[in-house]
Amino acid sequence: MKKIFAAALLSLFIFGCMGIGTTPIEDINETPSEYTGKEITVHGTVENTVKLGSLSGYTLTDEDGNSIRVSSESLPAEGKEITVSGVFMKDSLFG
């Protein structure tokens, strides 16, 4: 299973809907500059939640194994399938 990690920060809002009207994570990973500063919606499964002081986030992985890091104050349960929307930004912490 191919995993592509794109360091990203998303100011997000969690929706209960499935992945309708979402941007494929693979597309974001392939051309991140096209999405920087733009509102996007992505869908996937929550993995690898992390909380370090005031920094927290998780990896969101789609059904094809493509992944993106999400910065969030609230951490959804690992294994939960969610859709999130926010402004895509290049991550200055992880390069």
The reply to whether 95 falls in a domain is no
pLDDT given at position 54 = 83
pLDDT given at position 84 = 92
Number of structural domains in the chain: 1
The reply to whether 22 falls in a domain is yes
pLDDT given at position 91 = 66
The reply to whether 8 falls in a domain is yes
Alpha-carbon distance 28 to 30, whole Å?
6
The reply to whether 28 falls in a domain is yes
The reply to whether 61 falls in a domain is yes
- DSSP strand pairing (8-15 vs 66-71): unpaired
pLDDT given at position 74 = 87
Write out the chain's pLDDT in tens, 95 residues: 334 333 343 434 344 444 458 999 999 999 999 999 999 999 999 999 999 888 889 999 999 999 999 988 889 999 999 999 999 987 655 44
DSSP states along 17-70: S-STTPPPHHHHHH-GGGTTTSEEEEEEEEEEEEEETTEEEEEEE-TTSEEEEE
Read off the CATH number of the domain in which 29 is found: 2.40.50.140
The reply to whether 79 falls in a domain is yes
Domain that holds residue 79: 4-90
pLDDT given at position 63 = 94
Q: What is the DSSP letter of 94?
A: T
